[in-house]
Every structure is written in structure tokens, then in C-alpha cells.
Structure 1
Amino acid sequence: MNNNNNRSTQSRRRQKKMTSVQKLFKTCKEVFASGGTGIIPLPRDIEKLRSILDRIRPENVGLEPEMPYFRTSRARRRMPKITYLHIYECETFSMGIFCLPPSGVIPLHNHPGMTVFSKLLFGTMHIKSYDWVTDLPPHNPTSFKPNEIESSEVRLAKVKVDANFTAPCNTSILYPADGGNMHCFTAVTACAVLDVLGPPYSDPHGRPCTYYHNYPFSSFSVDGISIAEDQEEKAYEWLQERDKPEGLQVVGTMYGGPEIVVEH
């Protein structure tokens, strides 16, 4: 009996000592255990992970707004440098923190086949996100090649979010085909966002990162596509694939906050 009591006491002590980032890792491991491209975790698992992320604060991951990551360089750059703090990555999920100085931008990009949790740790960030339009009547085009622009065709997308968010705020979640799978982050002030991707980007597994230009709906006129009277044109835009934006500099470095213990 004494041995059992000792083990129980030790277990409780370990649970009390578990850091926020360790809890996050443990929960991600459970939630994404049987994940894969396009597989969305069960609603109860999504809420469990969201709850963990909602409680995480900058100090829980060793961040302070005064750190060098969040300072704007004196050198004139079209796009301020962004730092990515790598926490953990495996085949089923990844954890990391984007550190953006004021005016830093993570350009419009997608998350193919992924469920993504984004937690703004501090600062104010503008988020604009889109989903592809898929509910047009049959035979109506959702993509086409306009004469006005060169290269690839454009595709119709609906704006899901276009607003500023200031920490503390709830964790945002996007899904493979809903919730704003394509999004752009713009730092209004210095800010940090903790990202959990399940599964992570992987070119060999058909999950590359694609960047986009966006155009107002009124930029092009297409036969068979019109906006219903109860919808605003600004709620729709045309997206066009593009190369990685010139000047975008994301510098990866190792995370320096509380250590996580990887249990196999």
C-alpha cells in the first residue's frame, strides 16, 4: 500500500509541475495521434486543445515584448524580418511561434489538408482570411483566366475574417475547407502568435505552402458569376497563385522557453 501511495503522490507532483507548453505538447500528441491530410480531430478534441491554448501566456513560453525579435531593424527593408521559434515537429503535428515586429507581414498563404490553431500571445494583429467558394450553381465557373493579368488563373474566394485582434483573445481555428484556410497576418504592433498545425506542411505528402495575390471582386467580370442581393461584393475576392513574395524573410531559430519532454 505504501508503494502505491508513493507512486500516486509522485504522479500528482509531476502533474502539478507540468508546464503549459508540456501540456500543449501532450495534448497535441493525443489529438493528432491518428491524423493525416484532411483529417479533422473530433469536436471534443478540438475543444480540449483550444482550451489549453486559450490559457497560454507569453511568459509560459519564455517571451517578452522587449526581446530583439520584436524590434524593427534600422535598415530599410520592404518587409521586416520575422522570426520563427521552432518548438516541435513530427509527422502528425508541429508547434512553433511567429515573432513579428511592427508592420511585419506573413503574406496570404494556404494550409492544404490541415487543421490550424493560432493563439495570439501579445500585441495587435490584423488577420484576413478566406475560404474557396464552392456553392455556386452547376456549370458556373469558380475560376478563370482573365485577360487583364498574366500567368495563372484566378479563383473566387469568400472573405471569412478581416479584422484586428488584440491579446488576450480566443484561439482561432481553421480547417482544411472552412474557417479561413487561406490567411494573411499583419502586425499592427509587435506581436507573437503560437501556431499548431496538424498535420504540418510537407511537399512529399501533398501539403506545400502556396502564396496568393488577392484582387477585389469588381476587378473582373465573369459570365455566370454574380453576387446575391443580400451579399456585399467586398465579401468576395479573386485569389491568384504566386511565387513566394520577394523580400519575405522568415528566420528560423530554436525555441528558448520551458523545455518539453518528448515521451515515446
Structure 2
Amino acid sequence: MKFMREYINEILKRKDLLIYLVKSGLKAEHRNSYLGYFWWLLDPLLNVAVYYFLVGIILGRGGENFAVFLVIGLIGWRWMNTTVNTSARAIVKHSSIINQVYLPKSIFPLAASSTQVVNFVFGLVVIAIFLIIFGVMPGWQVVYLPLIILVQLVFLLAISLFVAYICVFVRDIDNILSHVLRVFFYASPIIWEGGRLPAEYSWLVAINPVAIILDSYRAVLMYQTNPQFGGLLVIALSSAVVIAILLYFYSRNEHKIIKAL
């Protein structure tokens, strides 16, 4: 435990580096883009437009306020998707720095996760615009929104630390992740409603953490109901345990990471 505390203190001492990595990550995302940071708003809007056209218009499967339903699901998923993809390469990407200076390796996936939080904030602006346009008024349950965001952040931190660590030793995982994420995309109620599944498959949504988080967002923003407190609690506690275990693995295997790079 003492070794673990020392490792966490080392991370806290490097908070300036963490802030620098977050700022540089934000600048690098659209450095050569003509529209620059405007893409943080335009990208989710285009994403929603494409799926609304395919599902709502072509297939005719959208229900009431489907555009709002869709934008909440896609923006919540976009945060997950971009965080996992950027975190997978977080350590390998900075191998030249790591081989020259000692730094806690976990700081890199933590920085990647923190960078995507800013993107999600812009996504919340897009959600607010859709709520206003379609006249959907959240109830008092919207006070639970920061709680849901915090649970998703802890969940993504756990995933980020895991994929970044694994990808150092098994580089092929980075290529497999896109396929795994695609499975989760279609297995989660992002562009379709969970209630439309046959009864024998409804348990897939019930145990899917992505579904629990997205349904909780919709509950407080669209339906004026409480989020899934039980599911969110399980996700938060299990993610916190995973983070603690992974930080221990990082602290005990820093030398192995350097050798693998």
C-alpha cells in the first residue's frame, strides 16, 4: 500500500504535465483543419443527421422525438468511442518521451481521457440545442446529470487505463478494438430503443453498461424520470475497483512497459 501511495503521489506531482498533455491533445485534434474547433459542434451534428436520415426517414423506425433520442445516444457513445481509441495509443504514442525521462505511465491514458471530456462538453451544447428546437423540457431530474457524467467518466478512466496497458504488450489489440466497439454500438440502444428487442434478449440491455448510461441520460433529459441508480452504482463501484487494480499493475510494471516500448 505504501508503494501504491507513492505512485499516486508521483502522478499528482505531475499534474502540470497532465494539464499540458490535455491542452496539446485538444490543439492537435484539429490542428490542420480549416474549421478548427468548430468541428466539435459540426461533427456530432453531421453524425446525427446521417443516422436520422437512415433510421428515421429511410427505415421509418424513429418514434416521437427521435432526433433528441438519437442525439443523446450518439453524443454519449462518441465520448466512449473516441476515449477508447485515443487511450489505446496513449502510451505507445509517447514512447520517445518515456524512454528518456521517468514518468508515471498511467498519466498518458488519464490525459487522453481528460481531453475527451472537453469534446463531450461541446456535445452537451448540441444536445441542449436539440432540446430547445424540439421543445423537450427536462424535469427536475436533470440535477442528476452531473452524477451520470461522473459515472461515465470513471467508467471510461477504467477502460482507458486497461486498453493503454494491454496495447503496450499486444499491439494487435489496437486493431481489434474498432471491431469490438462496433459490436457494442449495435448491441446498445444508441440508434434504436431497448424496448424493441425480443423479450428473450432484453437481458443484454439490462447488463450492458453502455445501455445503462445512455438510458440514464435520456431519463433525465427526455422523459423526466430518475436514472438507473442501481446500475450506475454498480458501474461506478466496479470501475473504481478496476482503476485501483490497474494503478497497482502500472506501479509494479513500469520497467516492463519501458522494455516493451
Scaled by the length of structure 2, the TM-score of the pair is: 0.26
Higher strand share: 1
Higher helix share: 2
* Structure having the higher Rg: 1
